[in-house]
Amino acid sequence: QQQVKQSPQSLIVQKGGISIINCAYENTAFDYFPWYQQFPGKGPALLIAIRPDVSEKKEGRFTISFNKSAKQFSLHIMDSQPGDSATYFCAATRDDKIIFGKGTRLHILP
Amino acid sequence: GAVVSQHPSRVICKSGTSVKIECRSLDFQATTMFWYRQFPKQSLMLMATSNEGSKATYEQGVEKDKFLINHASLTLSTLTVTSAHPEDSSFYICSASSGAKNIQYFGAGTRLSVL
């Protein structure tokens, strides 16, 4: 059973456009929702995270929108740049474990 | 920010040999370290969780005698893949946390190729 569902699997966006990645979860016990960015051959790096008592968090060009009632959250990358091309994982945490989504491969066209 | 160093970054070995991967927290004390496995174009799957000075807790389906984990100090954890076989070829990633376990800092990963 997949606890964190992520879509789309891959995404192509023009430079300067907005990249949007969506995630949904089932377990209401999750208490922290991080997003990770992973470049090929590297480990994931924490990009931005949100707690369920907040509806939106913005850091630079990256924004998380969180809908607790719908159990959905999304990552928006504004003014997307070729350097943003990577795989993005949404995640949810419970106790001491991180449950990752399946990932979205984002490609920004120059 | 917190830095986690993982070594080696890549290892190629013959079938039947054992391989050790090190994970170090460079600028903080890691009370808990995690080991993940990632297949190409797939997500990270937690293999085991280790707390300093105690035995690791393995996820269901992970052979503890196959994947030996040692967390002897607050800055070092090791994963040893024993009697490696080609199906063990994968990308292994460690992470470490110093308090809130939902905040983990990841190493750069180790690409293991078993011939």
Best mutation target, B44, B103, B110, to test chain A (most A CBs within 10 A): B44
pLDDT at B101: 59
pLDDT at B38: 93
pLDDT at B1: 66
pLDDT at B31: 87
Measure the CA–CA gap between A27 and B9, rounded to whole angstroms.
35
Residue B26: phi and psi, rounded to 5, are -85, -35
Q: Look at chain A and count its residues.
A: 110
Best mutation target, A36, A96, A105, to test chain B (most B CBs within 10 A): A96
User: What letter represents residue A63's amino acid?
Assistant: T
Judged by CB atoms closer than 8 Å, whether chains meet at A44 and B44 is answered as yes
Judged by CB atoms closer than 8 Å, whether chains meet at B42 and A42 is answered as no
Residue A95 pLDDT more than 80?
no
- CB atoms closer than 10 angstroms to residue B79: 25
E-assigned strands of B1-115? Answer: 4-7, 10-13, 19-25, 32-38, 44-51, 57-58, 67-73, 76-81, 90-97, 105-106, 110-114
The CATH code belonging to domain A4-99 is 2.60.40.10
Share of chain A above pLDDT 70, in %: 98
Measure the CA–CA gap between B25 and A53, rounded to whole angstroms.
31
User: Which chain A residues contact residue B41 at CB under 8 A?
Assistant: 103, 105
Q: What angle do CA B57, A99, A81 make, to 5 degrees?
A: 135
Please write the tens of the pLDDT for every residue from A20-46: 999 999 988 998 999 999 999 899 999
State the nearest Cα–Cα gap between B21 and chain A, in angstroms: 14
User: What letter represents residue A98's amino acid?
Assistant: I
For residue B99, the chain A residue with the least C-alpha distance is: A96
Confirm if A100 and A3 have CB atoms less than 8 A apart. no
* pLDDT, average across residues A69-75: 96
Residue A2 pLDDT more than 90?
no
Mean pLDDT of each 10-residue bin along chain B, 115 residues long: 90 96 92 92 91 88 94 92 96 88 86 96
pLDDT at B40: 86
Give the pLDDT band (50/70/90) at residue A1: low
pLDDT at B35: 96
List residues of chain B with CB under 8 Å from any CB of chain A.
4, 6, 32, 34, 41-44, 46, 49, 93, 95, 97, 101-109, 111
State the nearest Cα–Cα gap between A58 and chain B, in angstroms: 18
Measure the CA–CA gap between B16 and A98, rounded to whole angstroms.
32
pLDDT at A72: 97
For residue A6, the chain B residue with the least C-alpha distance is: B43
Share of chain B above pLDDT 70, in %: 97
- Domain boundaries along the sequence of chain A: 4-99
State the nearest Cα–Cα gap between B22 and chain A, in angstroms: 14
Residue A55 pLDDT more than 90?
yes
